[in-house]
Structure 1
C-alpha cells in the first residue's frame, strides 16, 4: 500500500463576496478533499445567504443563514487538479471557512 503525502489546511477563510469569486484552485499535480464548511452570519438583524460550488457542482445553492446564525456542513468531496471552489453571497455580511486536505 502506498501512502501519499497530504496536508490539512484552510482552503478558504474570509468574507463571502457578493459576486462569483474563485477562492481556491486545486494545485497540480494532486487533488484536494474538502472536509468541512462553516458559514456564519454575524449580523443580529439581517439574514444572509451563501452559494458554494465545488468544481462544477453547486454544493450549497443559495443556502440561507439566519441572523447571528452558524451553518456547519461535513462533506468529503474530491477536487481534481485545476478544479475550483467558487463562492457568492447575498451581499449581507457572511463569513466562510472551508477546510480540507491537499494530496500530492
Structure 2
C-alpha cells in the first residue's frame, strides 16, 4: 500500500493543527459551517507556517561566523592603526609602520 501524497500529508497536518488549536474534535470540526472551518484552518495554517519558518531559521548557519583575529598584531603609522598578520609585520615595519 502506498503512503500518503504530499497534499494528503499537508491536509492531515492542517486538520491536526486545527484540532489542537481549536479544542474541537475532528468530528466536531466537520460539523462546522464552511466559513467557520475556513477561519480555523487559516489560523492553523499560520501556526504551521510559523513553525516551519522557526525550524528553518534554527537550521540555518549564522551568516557571519565570528572570526578569531587574536593572532593579528596592531601597527600604527600617521595616526592610523591596522592589524596585520605576523608574517606581514616585517614588511609593514620596513615601510614605516610601528607596533602599537
Instruction: Determine if the TM-score, normalized by the shorter chain, exceeds 0.5.
Output: no
Report TM bin, short chain: under 0.3
TM-score (norm 2): 0.20
Higher relative contact order (CA closer than 8 Å, sequence separation 6+): 1
> Which of the pair is proportionally richer in helix?
2
> Which of the pair is proportionally richer in strand?
1
TM-score (norm 1): 0.19
